[in-house]
Amino acid sequence: FARLHPLNEATVQAELDRIRDESRPHPGWQIYEIGDGRWPDLARLEEAAERGGLSPEQERIVQDVLGNRYPEAALENLRERSGRAGEIAESLAQGGEPAHFPDAPETLALIRRLDRATGQPFPEGFEAVRGTYDYQHLLGQGNTDPYTLAGTTHVSPGYFSASLGTVPSAAGGSPVDLMRLTVPQDARGLWVGDRSQHPREREVILTRGTRYRITSVEPWGRGFLFHAQILPPAHDTGPTTPAPAWTGEALDRIDQALNTHDTAAALAGIHEAAEHFTADLASALQNADGPDRTATINHLEQLQNTAEHLADRAWEIADTTPEAVTTVALAADLATAAQSVAARAATDAATARDAIPDPPEVDPENPNQITHAAHERDTALTQVSDADTAREDAERASHIAYDAADTATRTTQNTGHHAGTRAEEARAAAERADTHRRDAITAAQDAADRHEGLTRTVNVAASIAVGIALSDATASHDDAATTAALDRARSIADLTPPGSAARMRLNTRMNAMGLSGP
The structural domains of the chain, with segments of one domain joined by +, span 9-115, 123-230, 279-315+322-453
Query: What is the Cα–Cα distance from 327 to 322, expressed in whole angstroms?
Result: 9
Q: Which residues contact 74 (CB under 8 A, 6 or more apart)?
A: 64, 65, 68
Query: What is the Cα–Cα distance from 58 to 63, expressed in whole angstroms?
Result: 9
CB atoms within 10 A of CB 135: 18
Q: What is the pLDDT of residues 398-438, one digit of tens each?
A: 888 888 888 787 777 655 555 557 788 888 988 899 899 98
Q: What is the pLDDT of residues 198-231, one digit of tens each?
A: 667 788 999 988 889 999 999 888 888 999 999 8
Sheet (strand 177-183) strand order: 153-155, 211-220, 223-230, 177-183, 126-132, 160-164, 203-206, 189-191
What pLDDT, on the 0 to 100 scale, is given for residue 240? 45
| pTM for the predicted model, two decimal places | 0.56
- Asked if 32 and 86 touch (Cβ cutoff 8 Å), the reply is yes
- Asked if 492 and 470 touch (Cβ cutoff 8 Å), the reply is no
The distance between the two most distant Cα atoms of the chain, rounded to a whole number of Å, is: 100
What letter represents residue 221's amino acid?
A: G
**Closest C-alpha among 257, 275, 259, 282 to residue 267:** 257
Query: What is the Cα–Cα distance from 215 to 194, expressed in whole angstroms?
Result: 31
The CATH number given to 123-230 is: 3.90.176.10
What pLDDT, on the 0 to 100 scale, is given for residue 330? 80
Establish how many alpha carbons lie within 13 A of residue 137's alpha carbon, considering only the half-sphere containing its beta carbon: 8
Buried b (16+ CB within 10 A) or exposed e, 391-400: bbbbbbbbbb
CA 56 to chain centre: 43
User: For the chain, how far is it from start to end, CA to CA, in angstroms?
Assistant: 46
Q: Which residues in the chain land under pLDDT 50?
A: 235-241, 318
Radius of gyration of the chain (CA): 29
What pLDDT, on the 0 to 100 scale, is given for residue 236? 47
Q: How far is CA 248 from CA 84, 200, 315, 464, in A?
A: 47, 44, 19, 66
